Structures are given as C-alpha cells and as structure tokens.
Structure 1
Amino acid sequence: MSITTSSIRAEGFTPPGPGDFNLPPLGPDKTFEWLGQTHYLGVTKPMLQLVLAAVLVFGFFFVAARRQAMVPGRLQFVGEQAYGFVRNSMGRDIIGSRDFMRFVPYLFALFFFILLNNVFATIPFIQFPTFSRSGMVYSLALLSWLIYNWVGIRHHGFLGYLKHQSVPAGVSGPILALLIPLEFMSNIIVRPVTLALRLFANMLAGHLLLILFALGGEYLLLHGATLVKPVGILAWLLFVAISFLELLIQFLQAYVFVLLNAMYISGAVSDEH
C-alpha cells in the first residue's frame, strides 16, 4: 500500500499525500531534480507491475484458448466469456458490425491490462495501483490517440479527417468560426488528456483514501486517547468497506477507458460527424 514509516511520527499524525506514490527504484538510488521535484532513475515497482500484468494477461488467455474444445472446460469458458464481453459490448455495439473486428484484439488486451493493474491496488503484498502514476496513464492515452487518429486519417485522408473532426455536420455560416476551433481542441487535442486524467485521478484518490483510513485508524488505536479509540475501529471498518467499493471502481475505470477508446475509433471511421 506504499505505506512508509515516515507517515506516522512521534509528534503527531502526518496524513498521507502524493509523496506516498513516489516510490523509490528497486536498486541503486539515483535521482535528479526537474521542475522543482525529485525524480528517480531506475526500475520502480509500477514498472514491474506493468510487466507482470502483461505476462499474466497473456499467460491466462493463452492457456484458456489453447485447447479450443467444442465443450469448453471452466478455464476456456471464462476466457470465452471475457472475450465475448469486450467483443460485443465494447467492440460491435460501439464501433459497429462493419469495422469492429480489427479493433477487438486491441480493446480486449487494453481492458484486461488496465483492469489487472487497477486490481493490483487490492492484492496483498502488491497493494499499489499502477495507474496512480500519471506517466503510466498518459502513455496509454497517447497510444490510443495515435490509433484512432491514424485510423481516421486512413479512412478519410488527412484533410478529410481534419474536416470530419472539426466541422460539425449541418452547420454553416459565421458560427463555424467559433465551432471549428472548439471542435478541433475537443476532438484532437483534449481527448487524450481527459482520457488519462479520469483513470489517473480515480486510482490516485481511491488509494489515497484507503491509506488515510488505514493509517488514521492505526494512529487512533495506538496513540489516541481512550475516548477516540472506537473511532480508530470505525476507520478500519470504513477501510474495509471502501476496499470493496474500490474493486467496483477499478472495474468501471477500465471499462470506461476502453469504452471511450471504442467511441473515439467509431467516430474516426464513421462517415458522419
């Protein structure tokens, strides 16, 4: 849970903050200063979680799809249901039956990769959401931005795609001088930022809340007065309750991220804006 001993000090309770997410490298401690902040050089825990998630997702679905029996076993059944969920609800239903199949592998891998990295926040001995680090999320958002823009350019041509994304259908006259810059900013520039920010902020805030209730409850029980110790027990109960709520949020954030990807791809390949 990225809880450090500095979070509780003898002179009082120090609430957790964004610094608890700045994990040191697993190895030589090399740092550099940039924009007034200390940054680490080397392999960190979130980096290893990205690799671990990729290996686990690939390994599970490789094993689940290996036999391809007519009557599926339990593992194959789970794999088929997982694939069907992404294929149908986020591929076919959003992109459309004409174009969706070529994007299903990307959407499928993206959904379970994000989901597992989110669930890492509640897995014992890991207990850290990978995408609570903004750099990890913006990398995914940049990949999504490149894909849906490239698809749109291939479908419409460069100038045709810019017109498709910037000029609202059925609108003419002087109002276009206002709408075209707004549409361009919204559809081309701002999308990857909001896509990443939604996932990053939810993972950061949720985990920060868990740390607060866990450490606050511990501090009240160990260092608080007798009358406030029951509040420490209540804080731990809330910690458990919020942990279950976080599981739902972890799934929803993975779903929303991939759903928006599918919507952006659908808009890029559609013939109408």
Structure 2
Amino acid sequence: MSSAPAALAGVLPIAAGGDGEFHGPSLEEFFPPVIAFEGTPFELNRIMLIRLLVVALLLIWLFIATRKMSLVPKRGQVINEFLFGFVRNNIIIETLGEKDGKRFMPVLMAMFFFIVGMNVTGIVPGLNIAGSSVIGLPLVLALVSYVLFIYAGLRKHPGSFLKNSLFPSGVPWYLYFIVTPIEFISTFILRPVTLAIRLLMNMVAGHMLLVLCFSATHFFLFTAGGFFGLFSIGTFAFGFAFTLFELLVAVLQAYVFTLLTAVYIQLALAEEH
C-alpha cells in the first residue's frame, strides 16, 4: 500500500460513507468495473491491466537481464544471477536433481518469477491489488502444475504411472475399494485445488488486511478527527508492518507453489511408478 496517508484516498475504498461511519474492505474490490472491451472475450478491468503490466515488465526485465551478459559480471548481472541461482539450486535442482531439473527448469523458473510479479503488485502504490487475488490466475497456474506432473509421469512410466498412482503395491485387493478413491482424490484433484486455494487466499487475506489498516488510517485522520486522529498512528504503523510482511508472503507463496510443483513432478518420476 501507499506509504503516505494522503495518497490513500485515490487508491483505497472510501473509509467513511455519507453517514460518517467507518466502512471496511469488501470482496467487491476483487471485481472492479470494466475499463475496456466490455461484453467481449477481451474484457479488461483493473486487475487484468495489472496482469498485463506484470507480464510486460517481466519480459522487459528478462530481455535486459540476459542481453549483454559478460564473463566478469557487473552489479546488475550479479543480482540477476543470484536470483536465478536461488531458484535453480534451492527449488529445481535440489528437488529434481541435475538431469530432470534441467528438463523442467524453464517452466519452473518462469512460474516462480511470474507468481512473484503477480503477488507483489498488492503492495505497489497505485496498483494496490495482487494479480493473483482472483481465482482465474491461481487456477491456470494450478492447471500448469497438474499437466506438468502428469506429463512427467506418463512420459517416464507410460505403462505404470496411472496404475501405481491409483493401485499402490503391497495393498490387499479388497482394500483397493477404499484406497483407490482416496488416491485418486488426493493425487488428481486435491493437489491442483490446494495449490490454487493456498495462493488465492493468501493474496486475498493480505489485501483485505492492508486495506483495513490504511482505510482506518484515512478514516481517523480525515473523518473522525480530533482525539481519534491519534489512532491513525497505530493503524498506519500496523499497515506499514503488514506491508513488509505481505512482501515476504508474496515471495514465500511463489516459493511454495513452485516447490510443490517440483515435488509432484519428482513423485511422478520416482522409480516405483
């Protein structure tokens, strides 16, 4: 959120209605009005524009970061190599190993930085909402993860992946009536669903919390006034602290989502399949 209370009026919901009472955030903020192409498949609202902006900025950054790389890196290249190396070593290679890690590195690397970019817009002044705070994007990302681990399993074990996923070895035949439905739900339904819901709800909760803090700051300063204006110091301090925390959550959720995707791929590649 914006770091200055005076700027809050333009980017936050009105903290006080005509009755002079405080009105907190609502879920309506995640369904902003249409800005362009209303009624068409290309309909754009504020969140869609934020997503397009993030994609454009990521493409520009990656183009600049990889355009003139040198053997003796400069400061910018060092930072970029650190970021790429962190994802490569701590998520991809650590989970999948060198050989399989290289195969899936492009999509997993792109997934991590894409999610970070979409998440971090929730604390950027003027944007103030995460591109991943509406269910569509988390669902698409979960679908990508779903396709990746199923593709990996079928490619590595075409004749046994589905069988061993649904009918684990060593289980008495009569228990398959219980085990197989559980395995099907946990492997092929709950995995993508939990990935999408975890990312979505963290971004929704973070946005609501920040809006609540800064809306309260606006209310105490410009509507309540007088002695109540002192409360704005506390709400602003909480808002600032939660902004830093939300930055951590934005990166952490990208890490968790990408790591779990890599883990699912590794499980699909395991020799028991």
TM-score > 0.5 by shorter chain: yes
Aligned partner of 2:215 in structure 1 is 215
Q: Distance in 2 between matches of 1:61 and 1:44?
A: 26
Runs of 4+ more than 6 Å apart: none
Q: Distance in 2 between matches of 1:87 and 1:79?
A: 12
C-alpha displacement of 1:165: 1.9
* 2:153/2:269 contact within 8 Å kept: yes
Give the letter aligned to residue 8 of structure 1. Answer: A
* 1:86/1:104 contact within 8 Å kept: no
C-alpha displacement of 1:99: 1.2
Q: Distance in 2 between matches of 1:78 and 1:88?
A: 15
Task: Tell me which moved more, 228-237 or 142-151.
Answer: 228-237
C-alpha displacement of 1:107: 0.8
C-alpha displacement of 1:207: 0.5
Task: Tell me which moved more, 167-176 or 18-27.
Answer: 167-176
C-alpha displacement of 1:28: 5.7
Give the letter aligned to residue 156 of structure 2. Answer: H
Task: Tell me which moved more, 147-156 or 110-119.
Answer: 147-156
Q: Distance in 1 between matches of 2:39 and 2:23?
A: 26
* 1:119/1:247 contact within 8 Å kept: yes
Q: Give runs of aligned pairs for residues 163-202 of structure 1, distance below 5 A.
A: 163-202=163-202
Give the letter aligned to residue 187 of structure 1. Answer: T
Aligned partner of 2:80 in structure 1 is 79
* 2:210/2:242 contact within 8 Å kept: yes
* 2:221/2:232 contact within 8 Å kept: yes
Task: Tell me which moved more, 128-137 or 212-221.
Answer: 212-221
Q: Distance in 1 between matches of 2:182 and 2:48?
A: 36
SS at match of 2:205: helix
Q: What's the CA shift string for 1:163-193, capped at 9, x where partnerless?
A: 2322334433433321221111101111111
Q: Give runs of aligned pairs for residues 10-89 of structure 1, distance below 5 A.
A: 10-11=18-19, 12-27=21-36, 30=39, 42-89=43-90
Identity over aligned pairs, percent: 35
Structure 1 unaligned spans of 5+: 32-39
Q: What's the CA shift string for 1:91-144, capped at 9, x where partnerless?
A: 111112331101001111110111011111111221210111111111111122
Q: Distance in 1 between matches of 2:80 and 2:193?
A: 32
Are 1:236 and 2:242 counterparts? no
Structure 2 vs 1, CA of residues 41 and 66 (structure 1 numbering), >3 Å: closer, same or farther? closer
Are 1:245 and 2:254 counterparts? no
Q: Distance in 1 between matches of 2:254 and 2:115?
A: 6
Aligned partner of 1:161 in structure 2 is 161
Task: Tell me which moved more, 74-83 or 234-243.
Answer: 74-83
Q: Distance in 1 between matches of 2:169 and 2:98?
A: 23
Count the aligned residue pairs.
Answer: 263
Structure 2 unaligned spans of 5+: 2-10
SS at match of 1:132: coil
Aligned partner of 2:13 in structure 1 is 4
SS at match of 1:14: coil
Task: Give the TM-score taking structure 1 as reference length.
Answer: 0.89
Q: What's the CA shift string for 1:146-166, capped at 9, x where partnerless?
A: 122122112212x52212322
Q: What's the CA shift string for 1:208-251, capped at 9, x where partnerless?
A: 00001111222123333644332232111111111011111111
* 1:221/1:233 contact within 8 Å kept: no
